[in-house]
Amino acid sequence: MNTFTVRAYGAESTTADLKEMNIERREATPNDVEIEILYCGVCHSDLHTARNDWGGTIYPAVPGHEIVGRITKVGSDVSKFKVGDLAGVGCIVDSCGTCESCKHDLEQYCLNGFTGTYNGKDKHLGGHTFGGYSQKVVVDSNHVLKVPENLDLAAVAPLLCAGITTWSPLKHWNVGPNSKVAVVGLGGLGHMAIKLAKGLGAEVTLFSRTPGKAEDAKQLGADHVVISTEQSEMDSVKGKFDVIIDTVPYVHDVNPYITTLNISGTLVIVGYLGGLEPILNTVPMIMGRKSVAGSVIGGIAETQEMLDFCGEHNIVSEIETIKMNEINEAYERMLKSDVKYRFVIDMQSL
């Protein structure tokens, strides 16, 4: 298969800083589009993959799965896109297309495993996939999104992961104008959950451990802020919420939030993989038909639906734009939650 070389930014090992490197991209096949990358959001998964925090990282690792760019080439069988169109690529660049999940537009739950935008198994070139910290990417057109022309492109990028990760559970649990939604955590995911739930017409509450975030949360659209460390505030929202989107990325106690769910309410974990501590008390769940659920990103059709919705409602992420060579510093700041609320790399700086 013919390839071409592009500049990229990646890590050579677990402990190495990211640096400039060259990678190979395949020439577009009949079903592919080639995209010049304009902006790439910086997700926590990028950092964890670059540093092998979850194990399984294959080096060199080129992260980035919040990609916005312009199409520079289309394969002969592609009718959905033309050269010059804006395009987005999220966390999924391929899936089997034939399993029950894929047949129902749930590629994120592909039973044969979807191909991640980075650190996935490259079906075309062998080896592993490289993400959006690069000049260009070539992707199967069925896994490419149309990007609304009316939005700030840099601020669209985080919608491709942070946006869809919170949109999918909001839609699955039927959030709408009569819903009462709470969000736990105000970071990249949490701030999108507030904006999207508000856009869907819900009454939105942020749970925060510190009062300092109240003003910011309200500016993002939250109707209320509840300080989760104040028992009286927690008591005041007992039995209130239909859906809680829990974005906390580390082990934490969800029991106090369960009591704030309405009958049949659901707390959805989107930011943390692993065991919960202290253990989950089933009494309030059983006595109120409440659920604790999980959700990961979203399917391609659902991601398109979210982008279209954001175009119509003028919803984008709150971002700080950086140059490519500022990425290592950005990772350090992310570890201290020192970003409001997402870094986005201007890829012209590579």
Which residues contact Zn ion by CB under 5 A? 43, 45, 95-96, 99, 102, 110, 112, 161
Burial label, 120 (beta-carbon count in 10 A; 0-12, 13-18, 19+): buried
φ, ψ of residue 282 to 5 degrees: the values are: -80, -10
CB 66 within 8 A of CB 157: yes
Question: Residue 89: beta bridge partners?
Answer: 67
Q: How far is the CB of 170 from Zn ion (least distance, A)?
A: 17
| Cβ proximity to Zn ion, 158 vs 199, nearer residue | 158
| Cβ proximity to Zn ion, 134 vs 228, nearer residue | 134
Q: How far is the CB of 300 from Zn ion (least distance, A)?
A: 12
Q: How far is the CB of 60 from Zn ion (least distance, A)?
A: 19
Q: How far is the CB of 222 from Zn ion (least distance, A)?
A: 23
| Cβ proximity to Zn ion, 102 vs 225, nearer residue | 102
Residue whose C-beta lies closest to Zn ion: 43
Report the relative pairing of strands 319-323 and 241-246 from DSSP bridges. Answer: unpaired
Residues constituting the chain = 350
| Cβ proximity to Zn ion, 102 vs 192, nearer residue | 102
| Cβ proximity to Zn ion, 50 vs 110, nearer residue | 110
Return the closest-CA partner of residue 309 out of 82, 143, 146.
146
Q: How far is the CB of 103 from Zn ion (least distance, A)?
A: 8
Q: What single-letter amino acid sits at 140?
A: D
Q: What single-letter amino acid sits at 72?
A: T
Q: How far is the CB of 245 from Zn ion (least distance, A)?
A: 15
Question: Residue 224: beta bridge partners?
Answer: 205
Residue 221, Cα to own-chain centre: how many angstroms? 20
Q: How far is the CB of 116 from Zn ion (least distance, A)?
A: 10
| Cβ proximity to Zn ion, 261 vs 334, nearer residue | 334
Q: What single-letter amino acid sits at 164?
A: I
| Cβ proximity to Zn ion, 143 vs 252, nearer residue | 143
| 282, two tokens | 């089933």
Q: How far is the CB of 285 from Zn ion (least distance, A)?
A: 29
| Cβ proximity to Zn ion, 59 vs 109, nearer residue | 109
E strand or H helix at 164: helix 162-172
